[in-house]
Structure 1
């Protein structure tokens, strides 16, 4: 295997990283339901003080044809090229606690070399624990808390927080591989998979970012500012609830999801929130169709084109 260090370049600030910090990771690209990871990353980088300590080589790791960077066409010339980045940051939480934050795109290539590079950095900085977040769509209602499936070797978090523990094969992302290798090496690692309402999977649902922050806090003791995000979530949910109240069919579908969710959480014979042997599960398309008008109105307002 190629030298893992070939994939990244340390900055001068790497010399001032304290030993024994928590590493938090969120990589975008695959199945980011509700925009959970992208919102999580953006919120932390916008709200917290941070500095880059390592930059990964995008030209080696990224398939530009599959995920093209954005450039702005200004009438007759090009400007504001937005390069895709994958970086390790030294950040501080709301009360000044430092931690490492790995954020950016999920690599398309060289997973084994990238994973070895992350493990190399974990050893270099004597990382205390690694926590990562991911999000998948599930047939659960937006009126209930975002649940999580917990993996890794933090049995305390698995016992207290993991609401769904399936036996199943899943398409992996690179942080699954990182967790697998860290766990095999005996390092402390935990992954949180957020279970996002499937009919909101293609939106930016603020509740998903809140759940990612809260899960990370539970694993690390880090404190994050969330007031602004909570206000955004209240407004978002209020608009959805308005649509539900005005549409009896949509209300019935959401009510069915609520009943199945509540029965599962109360320990009924349902195998999981995904299944119900006695009835049909409302599809994402059914609910999404009812919400289409609402989302179109929301995008119009966000663009400033509505009166």
Structure 2
């Protein structure tokens, strides 16, 4: 059980946050196909130097045994302990435009208290909009632009960028709860679900992070330099295409997905799934394809974020 205590603390040296900024939410957790959100968090922290304003208490919010922190063993001693981070920060985009970023691990505990706190902090900062991103696997080809499903209160974004509008029940993330609570308060909120090729969902797919940045840009007007990610993606796709070209099964699967995707995009204007469930490969077929596809990736300790060989 989590310890009792304050949910967060304000950072003493925190910068002043102007009113009326967009709030961007990137929380790693239950659904992160292609490591989209993990890479987004890494990219924003590395390239944009967030200045923490509020730090959430990991002992109250996290289950350490479910997602163990990383410690560094160097020869004969422990040299570094990377505690889980969940912070509300002031950040500037590539053009120097400020925004507020909530990023880090998705809480394991106290969801309602966390959501109430975030909504209250956002109201106190008078943020003008809320945008969040997560990613799920879908039977779509990597040779086509990554699509999105958009939810929330911004009908303009849903109309322009939501290519799949299902009615379904899914296991929630805390991002869903935040969107739901912000919607209840009539805030301007948009949630982007990135639709990642199912056969790449368990890899570190740079295009997923690029699509996340592009979605945030569309919703907020913020600008991000993604040249490094794009170069990584070109190298990644060369490896993918090489493996596909050397497998008749993968080539047939890709052509099938391309044909279905193109037919859907050309002829469908209604809220229907891109690929109907009856057209999907069986679970056994898909498992075999994935096994062959990922057979040459390097082995590592962290099976949650494998890469291609």
Same fold (TM over 0.5): yes
Distance 1:13 1:138, change over 3 A: same
CA–CA distance in structure 2, aligned partners of residues 284 and 42 of structure 1: 30
The correspondence of residues 24-63 of structure 1 with structure 2, limited to 5 A, is 24-63=24-63
CA–CA distance in structure 1, aligned partners of residues 288 and 145 of structure 2: 22
Matched, 1:77 2:77: yes
Contact conserved, 1:199 with 1:288, CA < 8 A, in 2?
A: yes
Counterpart of 1:293 in structure 2 is 295
CA shift, 1:286, in A, is: 3.1
SS in structure 2 at match of 1:149: strand
5+ residue gaps, structure 1: 300-305
CA–CA distance in structure 2, aligned partners of residues 82 and 63 of structure 1: 15
Counterpart of 2:95 in structure 1 is 95
CA–CA distance in structure 2, aligned partners of residues 249 and 110 of structure 1: 46
CA shift, 1:270, in A, is: 10
Counterpart of 1:235 in structure 2 is 235
Give the structure-1-normalised TM-score: 0.91
SS in structure 2 at match of 1:176: helix
Contact conserved, 2:133 with 2:194, CA < 8 A, in 1?
A: yes
CA shift, 1:79, in A, is: 2.1
Counterpart of 1:174 in structure 2 is 174
CA–CA distance in structure 2, aligned partners of residues 70 and 175 of structure 1: 24
CA–CA distance in structure 2, aligned partners of residues 125 and 110 of structure 1: 22
Counterpart of 1:188 in structure 2 is 188
Determine which structure has the larger helix proportion and give its number: 1
Matched, 1:284 2:286: yes
Contact conserved, 1:198 with 1:284, CA < 8 A, in 2?
A: no
The correspondence of residues 97-176 of structure 1 with structure 2, limited to 5 A, is 97-176=97-176
Contact conserved, 1:243 with 1:294, CA < 8 A, in 2?
A: no
Contact conserved, 1:264 with 1:270, CA < 8 A, in 2?
A: no
CA–CA distance in structure 2, aligned partners of residues 72 and 14 of structure 1: 29
Contact conserved, 1:23 with 1:130, CA < 8 A, in 2?
A: yes
Contact conserved, 1:146 with 1:196, CA < 8 A, in 2?
A: yes
Contact conserved, 1:28 with 1:106, CA < 8 A, in 2?
A: yes
Contact conserved, 2:165 with 2:271, CA < 8 A, in 1?
A: no
Contact conserved, 1:240 with 1:294, CA < 8 A, in 2?
A: no
Contact conserved, 1:263 with 1:270, CA < 8 A, in 2?
A: no
5+ residue gaps, structure 2: 302-308
Contact conserved, 2:166 with 2:272, CA < 8 A, in 1?
A: no
Distance 1:197 1:207, change over 3 A: same
**What value does the CA root-mean-square deviation take over the aligned residues?**
2.2
CA–CA distance in structure 2, aligned partners of residues 254 and 297 of structure 1: 25
Per mean C-alpha deviation after superposition, the further-off stretch among 244-253 and 31-40 is: 244-253
Give the structure-2-normalised TM-score: 0.90
Counterpart of 1:220 in structure 2 is 220
Contact conserved, 1:13 with 1:51, CA < 8 A, in 2?
A: no
CA–CA distance in structure 2, aligned partners of residues 223 and 17 of structure 1: 19
Deviations 1:106-138 (A, max 9, x none): 000000000001001101100000000011111
SS in structure 1 at match of 2:276: coil
Distance 1:31 1:276, change over 3 A: closer
Deviations 1:244-272 (A, max 9, x none): 11222210011111111111111259942
Contact conserved, 1:26 with 1:132, CA < 8 A, in 2?
A: yes
Distance 1:165 1:73, change over 3 A: same
Counterpart of 2:306 in structure 1 is none
